[in-house]
Amino acid sequence: MTAVPAVPVAGTIPAPVLPELAAPSVWPASAVSAPAGDVTVGGVSLAELAERYGTPTYVLDEDEVRARARAWRRALPDADIVYAGKAFLCRAVVDWIEEEGLGLDVCSAGELELAALRGFPADRIVMHGNAKSPQDLRTALRLGVGRIVIDSQCEIARLATQVPGPEAQQVMVRVLPGIEAGGHKKIRTGAEGQKFGLSIAEGDAEDAVARILGQPGLELVGLHCHLGSQVTSPDPYAQAVRRMVAFLARIRDRYAITVPELDLGGGFAVAYRPGDPAPTPAAYGRRITGELLRACAEFDFPVPRLSVEPGRSVMAPAGIALYEVMSVKRCGGEVFVAVDGGMSDNPRPALYGARYTVRMVGRASAAPMRTATVVGRHCEAGDVLAESVELPEDVRPGDVLAVPASGAYHVSMASGYNMTGRPPVVAVSEGRSRLLLRRETFEDHRRRDVGL
């Protein structure tokens, strides 16, 4: 399918910013209110985008992505900022991230091949995964990724036997610092007793270090941890820094080596609803840097090269999901507004109770606001996109609803449930739009079905 060419949107007249679009906001910085109840993002009308590309459609503000990448570089100018590709990745995003000077975190051979397709520098790529397949490891070694993060004991020998040589593959060890952090138990990954990493407290991490040091094909260059997702305070990162530096010092004292790198992972929170806590990159950066200097001074350890892996905090606030209302049902005092998407394009509410704000665009309404629940089209009672949101009482089929903060972990986790087809992704910038990912069609499903 030929990509839709970029077309300037004529006649867009910026209007005063509405209160819900004012900072601090869940909308991109370019979002402004427009006539007839519309909102423009990147100078482009959301209502016009819905009409042109259909719904559901995901809109991505390119300039917001770039600005957030730069904010992380300013916050930690001496660190490596590595974009977590699992948040959302496509060819254009790979290019934006490379142009802004960030590294790239991948979790599969597929993500790695996409990066290679765009010529992303392999030495700026970090390969993750708690269960890397043989194909994942072969691809990483073939393409020469900069770091492979060891996540289990059995991975050490498996990787070492595949290194072609003569140079060793640089690796990090993902450790569990034993810290509870994150917005939901399903996205807390730094505590004991879950599938990621190797425990410092139980000795597994140190055993892994010893095994790696015994493999000539592997070079231990750093420690890695990831506390979880939607971490709304810098404090857990400060705790992690302290425990990780203490462990680095223990490795030095026991094995007479100084491991030079420390990767704190990502998980930095964003606002999904007005008022949600979301510290700036600068706030995280100040706390992390200050604690790193204090801990290194206390343990007499040279300050390691620091890395962080923001994904959601770069991509989520740049994205907006657009849906069309299919039906409105009033039942038992509740108002259910059903749209033409749902858990197939945004599984987060069903997975771990994520909550959003919603705004009608493209039609002005003088009706009073009424609390409603926005639900999806799928055959699941849990297919709820947004609870307790305020919409005009006269909301009706054909209206367009916009859900901000939708740039991360929506399309990247979208499924083929009910064969509805995954939605397109459209980039906007400077009054123009262009298609990044086309809509998945029934023909795509039919081609995969080869059983007869």
**How far, in whole angstroms, is CA 163 from its chain's centroid?**
30
HSE-CB for 304 with a 13 A CA cutoff = 30
CA dist 411 and 321 (Å) reads 10
Residue 436: partners with Cβ closer than 8 Å, 6 or more residues away: 60, 90, 91, 92, 93, 424, 425, 426, 427
Beta strands per DSSP E along 57-178 = 57-61, 80-84, 103-106, 125-127, 147-150, 169-176
Active site residues: 379
Closest CA to 116 of 142, 96, 152: 142
CA dist 295 and 348 (Å) reads 37
Sign of the alpha-carbon torsion through 79, 84, 88, 94: positive
3-state secondary structure of 253: helix
Environment class of residue 220 by beta-carbon count within 10 Å: exposed (0-12), middle (13-18) or buried (19+)?
A: buried
Judging by DSSP bridges, how do beta strands 169-176 and 125-127 pair with one another?
unpaired
Answer for the pair 143, 118: CB distance below 8 angstroms, yes or no: no
DSSP code per residue over 388-430 = EEEEETT--TT-EEEEES-SSSSGGG---GGG--PPPEEEEET
Stretch (H or E) spanning 268? none
- How far separated are the first and last CA of the chain, in Å rounded? 26
HSE-CB for 95 with a 13 A CA cutoff = 7
DSSP state of 231: B
Which residue's entry shows tokens 């003088």? 366
